[in-house]
Amino acid sequence: MICLTTTENTLTKALKQVERNKSYIDMVELRLDLLEEGELASAQIFPRLCALPTIATYRRVCDGGKSQMSDKARMTNLRKIVLQGDFSYVDIEEDVKKSDLKIKGEEDSPKYDFENELKQKGIKIIRSFHDMEKLPANLFSLVTKLAKKGDIPKVAVTPNTIIDVVTLFKMNEELKDIKEKIIIGMGDFGVCTRILYKKVGSMLTFASEDEIAPGQLSAKTLKLLYKADQVNNRTNVYGIIGNPVLHTASPMIHNPGFEAIHYNAIYVPFLVDKVRGFFKLAELIKIHGFSVTVPHKRDVLPYLGKITREVKQIGACNTVTRIQGMWKGTNTDYYGFLAPIEKEINDGKIKSALIVGAGGASRAVVWALRNHHVKVTIANRTLEKAKLLASETMSNYIELEDLSSLSSSVDLVVQTTIVGMTPNEDADILEDFTFENPCIVYDLVYKPRYTKLLKRAKKANCKVINGSDMLISQGKLQFESFSGYHYPHWINLNL
């Protein structure tokens, strides 16, 4: 189930929020602590009006909410609202004292046992535990303890490493006897657990309307892009590892592709600090293949049983697939870079090239061009790196300050640094290069789609190629490695 957490301060606005998301969600969490005080008197009508199973949650500040009341006062308010309405669930933190749940009624009336009243009304208690900083050491026994009274245990905890993420995924198997449980990994490392909530063993995942905080996913993204609620035992898991990784556009290539060929598979971003930990996760949840981005393209090499000639030459791998119990590494950056200029290369129109940058992407570019007999000159901020790559690939190198000397003599210019990337869109590492002869100008940056360099080159009548073209080409090749099918030609990728 995908559960939308309301973020509005009035019931009317919260209902509108539900209405906007209705086709993506199965249930709603009404956050009472976010509502204006005057709204609470009518909050009981919310479940009937939104017509979806609703959780009533009155979250404290220490658990990431806004309520500053004492637990006693908070539980008294919660009781008034919940018992008058048609809520399906109520969230009560695990450390609320028994005595705070025995609520005194008006004037002379007796003490009420809130938990008993909820049970009699058929409202399920979600017994929740939050840790906004880490994973507690006793996580498994904690969940078992929370489930003991027949309540639904909920743990919302914060993984800080990929090994923490492995612990969360282990809960599915270790605690499989607890059928109804909620497990949430918060923060950036937890994103994969929110998408693959079914593989963690969680009965639901929480979503917001907008992706306002790190680690949050919108209901629309979970439902339409990831189809998170359709994951089952037969779903093959793919993904991308990197650090950072959450900005990646790759899920927008692979997930629609899988859907189009009716392949029961999902492609998920995994924030990874140490590659070794990720390979543990890959074995645990049987990941079938993954893309690799900065800074792990070299780190994965020791784990690969088989590599292609390009991976060996470049010394970096961006695609890993599981083949006959072994991890195989390929480099689709190499072919993805070549795809948009394949015709010009085959027609012999590119004989010389200037490559700016000497990082990981540049290595793939330089090797791809050298293997096609193009004469390459490399420029880089750190000259030593340009020299090193040049000597490895039998190319030339040049100081960045001297780039203009090549203005009229190269057929292709490739920009492989991060200069010009959002938010630094005004930067242009080739600003002294004047395009005296129209040539092909290729910028690997894909955000923005057209960098300052490409706009300038276009004005000078050069043919321009942007990073999206390469991103899509390399992504389609990865898709073939993952699924064994060509990328569906009818999908119009506009990244």
Residues making contact with ligand NAP (CB under 6 A): 294, 333, 336, 357-362, 380-382, 385, 416-419, 421, 429, 444-446, 467, 470-471, 474
The least distance separating ligand NAP from the CB of residue 361, rounded to whole angstroms, comes to 3
Which residues touch 26 (CB under 8 Å, ≥6 apart)? Answer: 1, 2, 3, 52, 53, 204, 229
User: Half-sphere exposure of residue 479, counting CA atoms within 13 Å on the CB side?
Assistant: 26
| CB-based contact 219:190 (threshold 8 Å) | no
Q: Which residue is nearest to ligand NAP (CB)?
A: 359
| CB-based contact 297:266 (threshold 8 Å) | no
Query: Helices H, strands E: what count in the chain?
Result: 19, 22
Tell me the backbone φ, ψ of residue 316, rounded to 5 degrees: -150, 150
Which residues touch 494 (CB under 8 Å, ≥6 apart)? Answer: none
Give whichever of 222 and 419 is closer to ligand NAP, judged by the CB atom: 419
The alpha carbon of 123 is separated from its chain's Cα centroid by a whole number of angstroms, namely: 34
Alpha helices in 398-491 (DSSP H): 452-459, 467-483
Give whichever of 329 and 360 is closer to ligand NAP, judged by the CB atom: 360
Give whichever of 184 and 245 is closer to ligand NAP, judged by the CB atom: 245
The least distance separating ligand NAP from the CB of residue 480, rounded to whole angstroms, comes to 16
| CB-based contact 314:366 (threshold 8 Å) | no
| CB-based contact 195:169 (threshold 8 Å) | no
Which of 367, 378, 306 has the alpha carbon at shortest distance from 335?
367
What's the rounded Cα separation, in Å, for the pair 177 and 195? Answer: 22
Decide if 297 is catalytic.
Answer: yes
Which residues touch 304 (CB under 8 Å, ≥6 apart)? Answer: 311, 317, 320, 327, 328, 329
Which residues touch 259 (CB under 8 Å, ≥6 apart)? Answer: 227
What's the rounded Cα separation, in Å, for the pair 268 and 310? Answer: 26
Give whichever of 362 and 395 is closer to ligand NAP, judged by the CB atom: 362
The least distance separating ligand NAP from the CB of residue 360, rounded to whole angstroms, comes to 4
- Computed on alpha carbons and rounded to an integer, the radius of gyration of the chain in Å comes to 27
The least distance separating ligand NAP from the CB of residue 237, rounded to whole angstroms, comes to 23
Give whichever of 3 and 361 is closer to ligand NAP, judged by the CB atom: 361
DSSP E strand stretches across 164-282 = 182-185, 205-207, 236-242, 265-271
Give whichever of 87 and 267 is closer to ligand NAP, judged by the CB atom: 267
Q: Which helix (H) or strand (E) holds 246?
A: none
The least distance separating ligand NAP from the CB of residue 43, rounded to whole angstroms, comes to 47
Which of 164, 165, 230 has the alpha carbon at shortest distance from 192?
165
Give whichever of 66 and 387 is closer to ligand NAP, judged by the CB atom: 387
Q: 130-138 long-range CB contacts below 8 Å, 24 or more apart?
A: 130/62, 130/63, 130/64, 130/93, 130/155, 130/156, 130/157, 131/155, 131/156, 131/157, 131/158, 132/63, 132/64, 132/158, 132/186, 133/158, 134/158, 134/160, 134/164, 135/159, 135/160, 135/164, 135/167, 135/168
Give whichever of 19 and 342 is closer to ligand NAP, judged by the CB atom: 342
Among the listed residues 297, 328, 452, 476, the single catalytic one is 297
DSSP one-letter code for 470: H
What's the rounded Cα separation, in Å, for the pair 466 and 451? Answer: 8
Give whichever of 5 and 380 is closer to ligand NAP, judged by the CB atom: 380
Judged by DSSP in three states, 115 sits in: helix
The residues that are catalytic are 297
